[in-house]
């Protein structure tokens, strides 16, 4: 089995290749290593290879992991991104322990994150999750409702609205993969035209990151290709 080190190098090369093929600078695309269901040791292995940004879906698992990583390496300055669904009664620990939240879809959640963000920390970086494929099973706000929510979140004092996130319906064909990502790019262009200062499109995962990069992704969220197959508790 390939090591995390080898896997990281392979993913970074795939990102760079996709960026160059799209006529983009590879440095415009950041890798978010999705470490959910993997332990602190896996995070530390990736950190030893220079990876600094990690994505987590499950709050209690993430809090335990953040503590374990800090206990093992208090010198490491890692960036923690919450990318899972947010229950409004769980906003305080997210506001206190994370640097980014990619999955905001309700004004109430954003308001609580703003109110609960500690004053000694920088503003919490926020992406709004968009249900770009209109799937009933997916989280996210409808595209036509994004502008109103974005304007409200942008005015909240302890938050910094950075951009948009999406998890489109899976497609096997590159051209079909690109369509929802293109809609995301156009949606962000629309928000910018309304005066919102945005710089982040969080989209693309192991199977479709090349399509996402071709359409302007600035963060790709990759887990399996780095850490291997996940083993969920039953």
Residue 141: what are its φ and ψ, rounded to 5°?
A: -90, 150
> Which CATH number do you get for residue 207?
3.20.20.10
Stated pTM of the model:
0.96
Q: Which of 35, 102, 89 is nearest to 64 (CA)?
A: 35
Residues 26 and 218: beta-carbon distance below 8 Å: no
109 assigned to some structural domain: yes
Domain that holds residue 109: 4-227
232 assigned to some structural domain: no
Residues 185 and 221: beta-carbon distance below 8 Å: no
181 assigned to some structural domain: yes
Q: Which of 187, 201, 222 is nearest to 22 (CA)?
A: 201
94 assigned to some structural domain: yes
217 assigned to some structural domain: yes
Q: pLDDT (tens digit, 0 to 9) for every residue of the chain, 234 residues total? A: 469 999 999 999 999 999 999 999 999 999 999 999 999 999 999 999 999 999 999 999 999 999 999 999 999 999 999 999 999 999 999 999 999 999 999 999 999 999 999 999 999 999 999 999 887 778 899 999 999 999 999 999 999 999 999 999 999 899 999 999 999 999 999 999 999 999 999 999 999 999 999 999 999 999 999 999 876 543
What total of structural domains would you count in the chain?
1
207 assigned to some structural domain: yes
233 assigned to some structural domain: no
């Amino acid at each position: 089995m390939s090591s995390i080190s080898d896997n990281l190098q392979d993913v970074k090369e795939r990102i760079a290749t996709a960026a160059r093929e799209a006529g983009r600078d590879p440095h415009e695309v950041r890798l978010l290593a999705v470490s959910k269901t993997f332990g602190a040791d896996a995070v530390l292995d990736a950190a030893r290879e220079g990876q600094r940004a990690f994505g987590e879906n499950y709050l209690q698992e993430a809090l335990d992991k953040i503590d374990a990583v800090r206990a093992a390496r208090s010198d490491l300055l890692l960036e923690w991104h919450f990318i899972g669904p947010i229950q409004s009664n769980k906003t305080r620990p997210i506001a206190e322990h994370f640097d980014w939240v990619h999955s905001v879809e309700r004004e109430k959640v954003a308001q609580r994150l703003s109110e609960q963000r500690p004053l000694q920390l920088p503003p919490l970086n926020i992406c709004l999750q968009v249900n770009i494929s209109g799937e009933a099973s997916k989280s996210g706000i409808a595209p036509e409702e994004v502008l109103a929510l974005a304007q409200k979140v942008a005015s909240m004092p302890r938050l910094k609205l950075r951009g948009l996130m999406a998890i489109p319906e899976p497609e096997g064909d590159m051209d079909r993969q690109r369509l929802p990502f293109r809609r995301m790019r156009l949606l962000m262009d629309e928000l910018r035209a309304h005066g919102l200062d945005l710089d982040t499109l969080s989209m693309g995962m192991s199977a479709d990151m090349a399509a996402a990069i071709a359409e302007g992704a600035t963060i790709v969220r990759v887990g399996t290709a780095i850490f291997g197959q996940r083993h969920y508790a039953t």
